[in-house]
Amino acid sequence: MTDSNPEVLTLEEVNEALPQVIPILERLQKLQRAIIEGEEGNGHTRVAVTARQDQLVAEAQETFNQLTSFGAMLKDMDSGLVDFYGERDGQLILLCWRLGEEPRIRFWHALEGGFTGRRPVDELIR
Protein backbone atom coordinates (compact mmCIF):
# COMPACT_ATOMS: atom_id res chain seq x y z
CA MET A 1 0.00 0.00 0.00
CA THR A 2 1.34 3.42 -0.91
CA ASP A 3 0.66 6.92 0.29
CA SER A 4 -2.09 8.61 -1.70
CA ASN A 5 0.36 11.33 -2.74
CA PRO A 6 3.92 10.15 -2.00
CA GLU A 7 6.88 12.48 -2.24
CA VAL A 8 8.80 11.18 -5.26
CA LEU A 9 12.52 11.95 -5.19
CA THR A 10 15.20 11.72 -7.82
CA LEU A 11 18.25 9.57 -7.34
CA GLU A 12 20.33 12.74 -6.98
CA GLU A 13 18.03 14.15 -4.29
CA VAL A 14 18.25 10.97 -2.23
CA ASN A 15 22.03 10.76 -2.62
CA GLU A 16 22.30 14.38 -1.41
CA ALA A 17 20.09 13.60 1.61
CA LEU A 18 21.88 10.42 2.73
CA PRO A 19 24.75 12.16 4.59
CA GLN A 20 22.07 13.84 6.75
CA VAL A 21 19.92 10.71 7.05
CA ILE A 22 22.76 8.49 8.32
CA PRO A 23 23.27 10.18 11.72
CA ILE A 24 19.50 10.31 12.22
CA LEU A 25 19.24 6.55 11.65
CA GLU A 26 22.16 5.94 14.00
CA ARG A 27 20.48 8.11 16.64
CA LEU A 28 17.23 6.19 16.26
CA GLN A 29 19.03 2.89 16.76
CA LYS A 30 20.73 4.24 19.89
CA LEU A 31 17.41 5.48 21.26
CA GLN A 32 15.77 2.14 20.50
CA ARG A 33 18.48 0.32 22.46
CA ALA A 34 18.11 2.73 25.39
CA ILE A 35 14.33 2.31 25.42
CA ILE A 36 14.56 -1.48 25.32
CA GLU A 37 17.30 -1.73 27.92
CA GLY A 38 15.67 0.81 30.21
CA GLU A 39 17.25 1.79 33.46
CA GLU A 40 15.75 -0.82 35.73
CA GLY A 41 18.11 -2.39 38.19
CA ASN A 42 20.35 0.63 38.67
CA GLY A 43 18.75 1.93 41.81
CA HIS A 44 16.24 4.34 40.27
CA THR A 45 12.67 4.29 41.41
CA ARG A 46 10.01 3.00 39.01
CA VAL A 47 8.72 6.59 38.61
CA ALA A 48 12.17 7.79 37.53
CA VAL A 49 12.50 4.88 35.09
CA THR A 50 9.07 5.60 33.59
CA ALA A 51 9.84 9.31 33.24
CA ARG A 52 13.14 8.50 31.51
CA GLN A 53 11.45 6.01 29.18
CA ASP A 54 8.81 8.62 28.30
CA GLN A 55 11.58 11.12 27.53
CA LEU A 56 13.39 8.59 25.31
CA VAL A 57 10.20 7.71 23.44
CA ALA A 58 9.47 11.40 22.82
CA GLU A 59 13.02 11.93 21.57
CA ALA A 60 12.72 8.87 19.31
CA GLN A 61 9.46 10.22 17.85
CA GLU A 62 11.09 13.58 17.15
CA THR A 63 14.09 11.86 15.56
CA PHE A 64 11.78 9.66 13.46
CA ASN A 65 9.98 12.80 12.27
CA GLN A 66 13.35 14.25 11.21
CA LEU A 67 13.99 11.08 9.21
CA THR A 68 10.66 11.21 7.43
CA SER A 69 11.16 14.89 6.61
CA PHE A 70 13.81 13.71 4.12
CA GLY A 71 11.27 11.42 2.45
CA ALA A 72 12.75 8.32 4.08
CA MET A 73 10.53 5.42 5.09
CA LEU A 74 12.01 3.29 7.85
CA LYS A 75 11.63 -0.37 6.89
CA ASP A 76 13.85 -2.09 9.48
CA MET A 77 15.25 -0.33 12.54
CA ASP A 78 17.80 -2.99 13.44
CA SER A 79 19.57 -2.93 10.08
CA GLY A 80 18.86 0.75 9.38
CA LEU A 81 16.95 -0.08 6.19
CA VAL A 82 15.15 2.84 4.54
CA ASP A 83 13.32 3.32 1.27
CA PHE A 84 12.55 6.49 -0.67
CA TYR A 85 9.89 6.81 -3.36
CA GLY A 86 11.35 7.19 -6.82
CA GLU A 87 10.14 6.75 -10.36
CA ARG A 88 11.09 4.52 -13.28
CA ASP A 89 9.38 4.79 -16.65
CA GLY A 90 6.46 6.63 -15.03
CA GLN A 91 6.01 3.92 -12.38
CA LEU A 92 6.47 4.38 -8.66
CA ILE A 93 9.48 2.46 -7.28
CA LEU A 94 11.47 2.41 -4.07
CA LEU A 95 15.09 3.54 -3.84
CA CYS A 96 16.60 1.28 -1.20
CA TRP A 97 19.50 1.88 1.22
CA ARG A 98 20.67 0.63 4.60
CA LEU A 99 23.27 1.55 7.18
CA GLY A 100 26.68 0.15 6.40
CA GLU A 101 26.35 0.63 2.66
CA GLU A 102 28.26 3.43 1.00
CA PRO A 103 26.35 6.73 1.31
CA ARG A 104 24.70 6.58 -2.10
CA ILE A 105 21.76 4.66 -3.50
CA ARG A 106 22.92 1.51 -5.25
CA PHE A 107 19.63 -0.43 -5.35
CA TRP A 108 15.95 -0.05 -6.15
CA HIS A 109 12.95 -2.37 -6.15
CA ALA A 110 9.31 -2.46 -7.15
CA LEU A 111 6.78 -1.45 -4.52
CA GLU A 112 5.84 -5.06 -3.90
CA GLY A 113 9.38 -6.40 -4.43
CA GLY A 114 10.90 -5.73 -1.05
CA PHE A 115 14.54 -6.01 -0.01
CA THR A 116 15.02 -9.41 -1.63
CA GLY A 117 13.92 -7.94 -4.97
CA ARG A 118 16.59 -5.24 -4.98
CA ARG A 119 18.08 -4.49 -8.37
CA PRO A 120 21.12 -2.38 -9.32
CA VAL A 121 20.35 1.31 -9.59
CA ASP A 122 22.44 1.40 -12.78
CA GLU A 123 19.31 0.03 -14.49
CA LEU A 124 17.63 3.38 -13.80
CA ILE A 125 20.33 5.39 -15.56
CA ARG A 126 19.98 5.37 -19.29
Instruction: Give 31-50 pLDDT, tens digit per residue.
Output: 999 988 875 555 565 666 68
Whether the CB-CB separation of 124 and 11 falls below 8 Å is answered with: yes
Report helix, strand or coil for 11: helix
Select the more confidently predicted residue: 23 or 122.
23
Return all residues near 28 (Cβ < 8 A) that are at least 6 apart.
Answer: 60, 63, 64, 67, 74, 77
Q: Which residues pair with 97 in a beta bridge?
A: 82
Tens digits of per-residue pLDDT, 88-119? 999 999 999 999 999 999 999 999 888 888 99
In angstroms, the first-to-last Cα distance of the chain is 28
Listed in sequence order, the DSSP H helices in 38-95 are 46-68
Cα separations in angstroms, 37 against 53, 64, 75, 111: 10, 19, 22, 34
H-helix or E-strand spanning residue 37: helix 11-37
Q: What is the model's pTM?
A: 0.85
Report whether 121 contacts 11 (CB < 8 A): yes
